[in-house]
Amino acid sequence: MNKIIDLHTHSLLSDGVLLPAELVRRAEIIGYAAIGITDHVDLSNIDSVIQKLLKFAEGATAESAIRLIPGVEITHVPLSEFKGLVAFAREKGIKLIVGHGETIVEPVRKGTNRAAIEAGVNILAHPGLITLEDAKLAAEKGVFLEISGRKGHCLSNGHVVQQAIKSGAKLILDTDAHLPEDLISFETAQAVVRGAGLESKESLEVLQNNPKELLSRLGF
């Protein structure tokens, strides 16, 4: 039976509503195989969020069937800060780094997609109307482009898929969950991917092969 691997979610350590423990437990009950808790960070909170997530992760899965990957989502920062924040997170022991991309429903700085890719994030979240040039750079650097399950961000999923096909960039499906109801079943995830324009065979690559490849790269 296929299970969800969701590498972009949020707890109340940023703007989610659940404790990390409850987020993990709810994902486990739904049937997740792995979950990344990637709370929003900038210069103001990156150190404290990392410390809390790593402390939680030390014992979080001792009695759980789900794999937890602590991470961060670098969000709405000046373009010049991306590389330094990525480097800082990695120095502190965070392997999973998400860049908050140029979603069409938030006032994200133009150039954020490029800055995040150049800084070496693992996933470019909700990249909005990403250019083909930036998608090609993501393919070159091994950055995964996100198909988003979140309301609003999902409006550009079809464009992201088309740019990924043209550029050779790899795709990944994440929920960007902030609320309990944002977590989804594997069947719903398949529907989101199919709705973005991919066939059933391609959807399995996005939902299974690609996240497993990324986890392997990160040493999980």
Q: What average pLDDT does the segment 29-41 reach?
A: 97
Taking the model in full, what pTM does it have? 0.97
Domain boundaries, the chain: 4-215
Q: Residue 63: its pLDDT value, please?
A: 72
Q: Residue 1: its pLDDT value, please?
A: 76
Q: What's the CA gap between 55 and 53, in Å, rounded?
A: 5
| Structure tokens belonging to residue 208 | 């299974």
* Residue 183 burial (C-beta neighbours within 10 Å; 0-12, 13-18, 19+): buried
Q: Which residue has the higher pLDDT, 1 or 126?
A: 126
Q: Residue 34: its pLDDT value, please?
A: 97
Q: Do residues 73 and 99 touch, judged by C-beta distance below 8 A?
A: yes
Q: What average pLDDT does the segment 12-16 reach?
A: 97
pLDDT at residue 83 greater than cutoff 70? yes
Q: Residue 24: its pLDDT value, please?
A: 96
- Rounded alpha-carbon distances, angstroms, from residue 185 to 141, 150, 177: 30, 14, 13
Q: In degrees, to the nearest 5, what angle opens at C-alpha 208 toward C-alphas 5 and 140?
A: 100
**Which residues sit opposite 146 in a β-bridge?**
172
Q: What average pLDDT does the segment 120-129 reach?
A: 98
- Provide the CATH number for the domain formed by 4-215 in this structure: 3.20.20.140
Q: Residue 99: its pLDDT value, please?
A: 98
pLDDT at residue 62 greater than cutoff 70? no
pLDDT at residue 112 greater than cutoff 80? yes
